[in-house]
Amino acid sequence: MLKDIKKVKSCARKNKKPAPKKAVKICPSRSGRYKSKSGEAMSRFLVNFTKVMSFVLFANFIHATDLAITAPGVYSLSANIISNPVVGSNNIIQITSSDVVLDLKDFTISQANNLAKFNGIEIAPNVSNVTIKNGTIKTLTGTGINVGTGCSKINIRNLTIDSCFLMAINMGTFELTDQIIDSNIENVIILNSANAAKVTDYAGYPPIFMSNCLRCTVRESYISNCGLVSAVQNNNTFACVYLASCNNCTVDSVKMQNNSVFGAVNLNSSTGCLVKNCDFSGANGNLSSTGGFIISGGGTGNLIDNCVAQNNIAYSAHGFFKIEQSNLNSITNCSIIGNKSNSSTNYFVAYVSNNCLFKNCVASDNTTTGIGRGFWAFSIARTSFIDCVSANNTGTSSFQEVGGMLFAYASYCELANCQFYNNSGSTDALSYGLKVFGGSNNLYKDVSAYANGPVNPIPANQMVGVPAGSIIN
Q: How many residues in the chain?
A: 473
Q: Rounded CA gap, 186 and 52, in Å?
A: 32
Residues pairing with 363 in the sheet:
336, 390
pTM score, whole prediction = 0.85
What integer pLDDT is reported at residue 299 of this predicted model?
A: 93
399 vs 146, more confident:
146
Q: Is 433 exposed, middle or buried (0-12, 13-18, 19+ CB in 10 A)?
A: buried
Nearest C-alpha neighbor of 264 from the set 275, 249, 248, 250: 275
Q: What is the pLDDT of residues 365-385, one digit of tens each?
A: 999 998 999 999 999 999 999
Domains in the chain: boundaries: 65-464
Looking at domain 65-464, does it have CATH number 2.160.20?
Answer: yes
End-to-end CA distance of the chain: 71
The answer to whether 150 and 180 are in contact (CB under 8 A) is yes
Confidence of residue 289 (pLDDT cuts 50, 70, 90): low
Rounded distance, CA 401 to CA 394, Å? 9
Burial 13-38 (b: 16+ CB within 10 A, else e): eeeeeebeeeeebbbbeeeeebbeee
pLDDT band at 205 (very low <50, low <70, confident <90, very high): confident
Residue-wise pLDDT tens digits, 62-104: 223 348 999 999 999 999 999 999 888 899 999 999 999 999 9
pLDDT band at 18 (very low <50, low <70, confident <90, very high): very low
- Span 205-230, mean pLDDT? 89
* pLDDT score at 213: 97
- Please give the share of the chain, as a percent, with pLDDT higher than 70: 79
